[in-house]
Structure 1
Amino acid sequence: MFDKIQGQSHALQILKSAIDNNRVAQAYLFHGPEGVGKFTTALYFGMALNCLAESEIRPCGVCSACQKLLNMDHPDFIHLFPTPNFKMSPEGEIKDSANLQAYLGYIQNKIDSPWKQYRFNRAVELRLDNIRMLISSLNLSISELSMRICIIEDVDMMNIATANAFLKTLEEPPPRTIMLLTSCRLPKIIPTIISRCQTIYFKPLSRTIIQQILQKKHGFDLLSSRTAARIANGNFKAAFRIAEDSTLALRELAFEMFALAKEANELKYLQLLERIREDINAESTRLIFDYLGFIANDMIMLNSNPDAVTNIDKVDLLKQIQPARMYLEDDVYAYLMHLEDFKNKIEGNVNLRLLLLNNFYALEELLTG
């Protein structure tokens, strides 16, 4: 089943070599961008360590051990991930029915469609409750597997108290237990956790790989797949969202913002913000800024490298909004710096409408200044 993981040959080679040479570390940290296969690789690695198939191709995906791990219902499998405060007991019990439904919904999404983003309705983190549950589970005897598998997603989302509580377990896990940690933000992890793991980097996926998966596995058409692959910046989860109609609507919105700034029509821009007021949140605003950045970059590519244009289906519109002046590259660069500043401010819970309004003034300066 490792052949289903594309674009990560280096990481897979390290893991296969560890299995072949019986030199599996007690803890691994898979780090790299979002949407590149870290969790799936961790799960398949755990399956390979416990596969019951007699053939050399492991994991087989069909034996009882593989099937239970694929369905995440094996008693020797522990899975931690950031959640809202569900008041989980050390035994993993969640009493509130709505919280339990949300918790199980996340797991089911991982089983059915891990390429889709699952959002809780409140802020999430890895909590002390999660670590207490982990410790309680590790105190139980291993029932079936050769190696107990513990996957901890987004380990960078531990606060200091949680990280310190986790350290002793990471330093001295019980026998026949493998810790598999994932992270998109390595610098956010405390150094003592990193130093106790074998780190493996997962690189962004190539446009070609993303396009092929979108077309062959998910049935998107050529244009949607190519556009999404170019915009997603190596992140398959983002590419899938972009290929879906709901996210493409945000791209149309970004082009509309460009057109209104080109006309210096602040009133209509304010009306646009009012129209989308109910749909604006941190994620959609970040995506809008991403789209705006790709559009700005495309204005440069139109003249210097047309084959590198991201919005390949919008070339005529790009020509209409492109300013006709020298030194456009410098102005686009300045605008992209504004966008980065806007995106950084999203993390600080600022007024999103104000950020989008400030974007109008930055766009107006780029297009008419």
Structure 2
Amino acid sequence: MTFEEVIGQDEAKQSLVKLIEEHRVPHAMLFCGPMGCGKKALALAFASRLLGDSQLLRQWQHPDLHFSFPTIKKPTMGSDHQPVSDDYAQEWRELLSDGAYFSIEQWMDAMGAENQQAIITGAESDRLSRRLSIKASQGGYKVCVMWLPERMNVTSANKILKLLEEPPQQTVFILVSEEPEKLLETIRSRTQRFDFKRISDEAIEQALTERRGIDTDTAHRIARIANGSWTAALDSLRAGNEASLFFDLFAMLMRYAYSKKVKELKKWSESVAAFGREKQKRMIVYFNRMVRESFMYNFRNPELNYMTANEEQFCTRFAPFINERNVMELNELFERALRDISQNANAKMVFFDIALQTIILITRKQQA
């Protein structure tokens, strides 16, 4: 992975290269920024530059490059076994071979996850401690890239803290986080933080046309919808992507609610309740975005909207039903549902409640 392969982020690239050239590489770095901005890609490019470009790095099998990431426990694993990154090394390398831009959702699919929550276990921290205590095989740096450290459990976090406090010689830790506020304060204080901004629309548009052969008009629309995320831009190119499914489910919810079809809404709620919790959370976030886009569509200013052609077509008729009388309550409804699902509430009850409340909220306009 080279810095040239990273989408946009020119200023960040220059700053990171300068650290290496001036021999000011911190022993522990915390890369932060919104999803899809290229934190992981920058971390891999930085690690590659530190270790030296080689065929081993292209295959992500360099002996001095260590990865740590969230994993799940499969039913086939023994009762005493705590999953570690080694259990999923092949899946990890296969996903990386397609590029550094992928989400936790794609990683969960690669692991074959169902309803499990992916975490970084205490056994994983023990594994890192053993591996990093060994002298670098190439005589230079050892680099540990930990993706989503906020998913460490308490045991793991405390053990990693000790590693950061007493780091092995010539070892560089790069923690790539989307929710750094969830990390222990003591871990944050032991790292040098780097905050990366969203990728500019221009950089995404250019990458779509030059690297993916997308026509200018389509690239412009995709770049706006991606909202600074190359991961989101790539997802929009995939046929049958998850956003299309969520759009269909949102439209179905609103149509049934408008028609007060309670029986169909019950079936709808049972259907989405069968999704894994991570997918349910992504769906709720999408629903909330569509509420926002529908409300803004009423202002008839294209610069305020970030929608696909299908979403925009739906909003031409639906948008008037999202207005100042209900937009805040719909937002709160979905935020509450997101919190409940995150806390393992009964999914059927949560989604049927959404359905019933939506009837009240989107028909309020006609009753006012």
What is the TM-score when the length of structure 1 is the normalising length?
A: 0.82
**1:231/1:364 Cα in 2 relative to 1: closer, same or farther (>3 Å)?**
farther
Equivalent residue number for residue 25 of structure 2 = 24
Distance in 2 of aligned mates of 1:74 and 1:36: 25
Equivalent residue number for residue 37 of structure 2 = 36
1:357 to 340, 352, 357: 352
Equivalent residue number for residue 270 of structure 1 = 266
**1:346/1:170 Cα in 2 relative to 1: closer, same or farther (>3 Å)?**
same
Give deviations 1:284-310, integer Å, cap 9, x for gaps: 322332332232222332232233222
Distance in 2 of aligned mates of 1:208 and 1:357: 42
1:318 pairs with 2:315: yes
**1:34/1:145 Cα in 2 relative to 1: closer, same or farther (>3 Å)?**
farther
Cα drift, residue 202 of structure 1: 2.0
Task: Check conservation: 1:50, 1:145, Cα contact below 8 A.
Answer: no
Distance in 1 of aligned mates of 2:318 and 2:68: 47
Distance in 2 of aligned mates of 1:277 and 1:40: 34
1:130 to 109, 124, 127: 124
User: Where in structure 1 are there 5+ consecutive unaligned residues?
Assistant: 52-62, 95-99
**1:242/1:251 Cα in 2 relative to 1: closer, same or farther (>3 Å)?**
farther
Which stretch has the larger CA shift, 172-181 or 312-321? 312-321
Cα drift, residue 216 of structure 1: 4.3
**1:124/1:216 Cα in 2 relative to 1: closer, same or farther (>3 Å)?**
same
What is the TM-score when the length of structure 2 is the normalising length?
A: 0.82
Aligned amino acid, residue 130 of structure 1: E
Cα drift, residue 69 of structure 1: 2.1
Q: Percent identity?
A: 26
Aligned amino acid, residue 74 of structure 1: H
1:69 to 50, 57, 70: 57
Task: Check conservation: 1:294, 1:310, Cα contact below 8 A.
Answer: no
Task: Check conservation: 2:225, 2:308, Cα contact below 8 A.
Answer: no
Give deviations 1:106-136, integer Å, cap 9, x for gaps: 2321233433421132332222211211121
1:155 pairs with 2:149: yes
Equivalent residue number for residue 78 of structure 1 = 66
**1:79/1:288 Cα in 2 relative to 1: closer, same or farther (>3 Å)?**
closer
1:256 pairs with 2:242: no
Distance in 2 of aligned mates of 1:172 and 1:48: 24
Give deviations 1:150-170, integer Å, cap 9, x for gaps: 111111122232222222321
**1:208/1:188 Cα in 2 relative to 1: closer, same or farther (>3 Å)?**
same
Distance in 2 of aligned mates of 1:78 and 1:140: 12
Cα drift, residue 201 of structure 1: 0.9
Which stretch has the larger CA shift, 110-119 or 184-193? 110-119
Q: How does 1:1-369 map to 2 (within 5 A)?
A: 1-51=2-52, 63-64=53-54, 67-85=55-73, 100=87, 102-116=88-102, 117-119=106-108, 120=111, 121=113, 122-214=116-208, 216-218=210-212, 229-244=223-238, 245-247=240-242, 248-274=244-270, 278=274, 280-304=275-299, 305-313=301-309, 314-323=311-320, 328-369=323-364
Distance in 2 of aligned mates of 1:228 and 1:309: 12
**1:277/1:190 Cα in 2 relative to 1: closer, same or farther (>3 Å)?**
closer
Distance in 1 of aligned mates of 2:124 and 2:297: 50
Aligned amino acid, residue 358 of structure 1: D
Cα drift, residue 197 of structure 1: 0.9
Task: Check conservation: 1:211, 1:226, Cα contact below 8 A.
Answer: yes
For these two proteins, the number of residue pairs brought into alignment is 346
User: Where in structure 2 are there 5+ consecutive unaligned residues?
Assistant: none
Task: Check conservation: 2:66, 2:143, Cα contact below 8 A.
Answer: yes
Task: Check conservation: 1:28, 1:199, Cα contact below 8 A.
Answer: yes
**1:225/1:285 Cα in 2 relative to 1: closer, same or farther (>3 Å)?**
farther
Cα drift, residue 332 of structure 1: 1.1
**1:18/1:221 Cα in 2 relative to 1: closer, same or farther (>3 Å)?**
same
Cα drift, residue 103 of structure 1: 4.0
Distance in 2 of aligned mates of 1:163 and 1:287: 26
Give deviations 1:182-229, integer Å, cap 9, x for gaps: 111111111111111110012233444445445543456778766654
Distance in 1 of aligned mates of 2:262 and 2:146: 47
**1:126/1:272 Cα in 2 relative to 1: closer, same or farther (>3 Å)?**
closer
Aligned amino acid, residue 29 of structure 2: Y
Task: Check conservation: 2:272, 2:280, Cα contact below 8 A.
Answer: no
Which stretch has the larger CA shift, 213-222 or 195-204? 213-222
Distance in 2 of aligned mates of 1:253 and 1:220: 28
Distance in 1 of aligned mates of 2:165 and 2:38: 26
Give deviations 1:241-272, integer Å, cap 9, x for gaps: 34431311221221222222222222222233
**1:195/1:93 Cα in 2 relative to 1: closer, same or farther (>3 Å)?**
closer
Aligned amino acid, residue 96 of structure 2: K
- Equivalent residue of 2:337, what SS? helix
